[in-house]
Amino acid sequence: MSFGDPNNPYGQPPQGQQPGYGYPQAPQGVPPQGGYGYPAAPSPYGAYPGGAPYGMPPVMPGGVKAARVMLWIMGILQILVGLALAVGGSLFVNEADVDSGTTAVATGVFVGIGAFVLGLGIWGVVIAARCAKGGNGIRVSGIVYGSLLTLGGLSNLGVSASQTAATGGNQGGSLVGLVLGILIIVFFSKADAGAWFKRPRY
């Protein structure tokens, strides 16, 4: 029996080859794909910027998480303020010593502003609730919401500045809304936020 016989199953392998323990070997120049010579199955979640390793589902980016918290805070605050304006403002006007025509107009103004702020608050809460499973439309909606917060903050700062000069008040609330609006825009505009909201769903 010759150990150099290529037809001998118990003989030495041909020169330049290594025993593969019975598993198929990858061709030369092709990197190994998986364990034991078999190609690795592709991850059902694909590749994501900042995604979790080892084929796990992607994790919500930190910026989106931060924006989500801001949306919850602003949305709930706006709901409370809207209700207070719509209900408390109208009651205050009705109790004031004014004629009926002025009372009706003032009540309508308070109710209208309150309803608008209430609607914004509900919108912000819906965006926050949909950040985990919503698509790119939720991201765009968040950017629009942040833009409205920013514009509202700038407008309120201008009004507050004149009131501060006259009454000595502060502009803290307007400044908070302005800062949060800008941060929401920035966080939702980042590339990892785009990858998160555009990820495929399985």
Q: What is the pLDDT of residues 105-129, one digit of tens each?
A: 777 888 889 999 999 999 999 999 9
Q: What is the pLDDT of residues 178-196, one digit of tens each?
A: 999 999 999 999 999 999 9
Sign, CA dihedral 71-72-74-80, equals: positive
Answer yes or no: are the C-beta atoms of 182 and 189 closer than 8 Å: no
Q: Which structure tokens are listed for 75?
A: 């949305």
Confidence of residue 139 (pLDDT cuts 50, 70, 90): very high
* Most confident range, picked from 8-12, 52-56, 172-176, 187-191: 187-191
CA 174 to each of CA 16, 34, 89, 153: distance values in angstroms, whole numbers, following the listed order = 76, 57, 20, 5
| Domains in the chain: boundaries | 63-197
Angle at 110 between CA 166 and CA 92, to 5 degrees: 80
At residue 116, what are phi and psi to the nearest 5 degrees? -65, -45
For the chain, the C-alpha Rg in angstroms (whole number) is 32
104: left (phi over 0), alpha (psi -120 to 50) or beta: alpha
Of 15 and 156, which is predicted with more confidence? 156
Answer yes or no: are the C-beta atoms of 174 and 157 closer than 8 Å: yes
Residue 68 pLDDT greater than 90, yes or no:
yes
Q: What is the pLDDT of residues 141-181, one digit of tens each?
A: 999 999 999 998 888 877 766 655 554 455 666 788 899 99
Confidence of residue 137 (pLDDT cuts 50, 70, 90): very high
Of 144 and 23, which is predicted with more confidence? 144
Confirm whether pTM is higher than 0.85: no
